[in-house]
Amino acid sequence: MEYKLENLVIPKSIAIILDGNGRWAQKRNLPRAMGHKAGCEALEKTVEDCVRLGVECLTVYAFSTENWKRSSVEVGALMKLLRFYMVKLIDVANKNNVKAVMIGDESRFEPDIRKGIKKLVDATSKNTGMTFAFAINYGGRDEIRRAINNIVDDTVSGAISKDDINEELISSYLDTKNLPDPDLLIRTSGELRVSNFLLWQIAYSEFYITDTLWPDFDKEELLKAVESYSQRQRRFGGR
Ligand code: IPE
Ligand code: IPE
Ligand code: MG
């Protein structure tokens, strides 16, 4: 399919719930871990495709606070991939002037993974192009819980007063502080739910759901989503 880029409205901020790695593997009689590996490759390409499109911020949901409930074999395979791809992502990010940040609670990860996150963030912090926000051990409710904790601490210490608590202040206590709210939220593999992703931030995001499984998501699919977004009339409650 051909798209004329000049007819597209490019969202400033895209968020993706990458889903369907397991089903992709199942369809091929492969272990789920192979689906996750293929998913990591699709992610690398999507980062580059978003850079080329001129997206300013890409936020990707790769591991939720609920995903620890999966079998130890699957969680182990995901951690192994995380270790490997965080190193690979440094190259991908630096080649594309991408600044990587992490959202989620990293305290639950093993020390070497936490070091890997720091390395990725530090090694790309001076890049001035697209921001890539990697959501791992991320849960929207957990993020809000942690923010409330910090707001209460700062209120008790007197750093802020109760009257300071407005929407802007709450946003500034979330992991996504400094990141634009998603204009477009994409979910792959057909599920019609948000699964605890960016609950505060998606208040006025446009949704795009595709049946395509995440490992099959490519530039064509991304353009379809952006094409759909380009047709939307955003009203933000106004007329
Ligand atoms: C998304 O793929 C990746 C993670 C949630 C870690 P899934 O593993 O959820 O794939 P399905 O939904 O089982 O197909
Ligand atoms: C959402 O996918 C989480 C991530 C993509 C990281 P899940 O596969 O975990 O969501 P549910 O269980 O189908 O809601
Ligand atoms: Mg899933």
pLDDT of the residue at 4: 65
Give the integer Cα–Cα distance in Å for 239 and 232: 14
Tell me the pLDDT band of 202, cut-offs 50, 70 and 90. very high
Q: Which atom of ligand 2 is nearest to the CA of 66?
A: 9
pLDDT at 115: 98
Note whether 183 and 229 are within 8 A (CB). Answer: yes
Mutate to test the pocket of ligand 1, among 18, 23, 197 (most ligand atoms within 8 A of CB): 23
Specify the ligand 2 atom closest to the Cα of 63: 6
Would you say the CB of residue 18 lies under 6 angstroms from ligand 2? yes
pLDDT at 139: 99
Point out which residues pair with 56 in neighbouring strands.
none
Q: Which listed ligand is nearest to 22 at the C-alpha?
A: 1
C-beta 18 within 6 A of ligand 1:
yes
| Residue 20 Cβ contacting ligand 1 at under 6 Å | yes
Ligand 3 centroid–CA 19 distance in Å is 5
Which residue has the CA at smallest separation from atom 6 of ligand 1?
A: 63
pLDDT tens-digit series, residues 126-171: 999 999 999 999 999 999 999 999 999 999 999 999 999 999 999 9
Q: Please, which pLDDT band fits residue 85 given cuts at 50, 70 and 90?
A: very high
Q: Is the CB of 230 under 6 A from ligand 1?
A: no
Give Cβ neighbours of residue 198 (< 8 Å, ≥ 6 apart).
15, 59, 61, 135, 140, 176, 182, 185, 205
Q: Which atom of ligand 1 is nearest to the CA of 32?
A: 8
Residues 46-59 have pLDDT tens digits of 999 999 999 999 99
Residue 2 has pLDDT above 60, yes or no: no
The catalytic residues are 19, 67
Question: How many angstroms separate the alpha carbon of residue 101 from the centre of ligand 3?
Answer: 23
**pLDDT exceeds cutoff 70 at 179:** yes
Long-range contacts of 204-207 (CB under 8 A, 24+ apart): 204/234, 204/236, 205/15, 205/181, 206/11, 206/232, 206/234
pLDDT tens digits, residue range 95-121?
999 999 999 999 999 999 999 999 999
Q: CB burial class (10 A; 0-12, 13-18, 19+) of residue 114?
A: middle
Q: Which pLDDT value is given to residue 206?
A: 98
pLDDT of residue 5: 74
Q: 4-43 pLDDT, tens per residue? A: 677 899 999 999 999 999 999 999 999 999 999 999 999 9
Residues 6+ apart with CB under 8 A from 178: none
Q: Is the CB of 17 under 6 A from ligand 2?
A: yes
Query: If you average pLDDT over residues 82-98, what whole number do you get?
Result: 98
- Among residues 185, 186, 191, 188, the alpha carbon closest in space to that of 215 is found at 188
pLDDT at 3: 60
pLDDT of 218 higher than 60: yes
- The two structure tokens encoding residue 56: 């300013």
Nearest CA to ligand 1 atom 1: 19
Is the pLDDT at 229 greater than 80? The verdict is yes
Tally of helices (H runs) and strands (E runs) in the chain: 7, 6
The reply to whether the predicted model has a pTM over 0.75 is yes
Question: Which ligand lies nearest to the CA atom of residue 195 in the structure?
Answer: 2
Task: Kindly give the number of the ligand 1 atom that is closest to the alpha carbon of 64.
Answer: 5
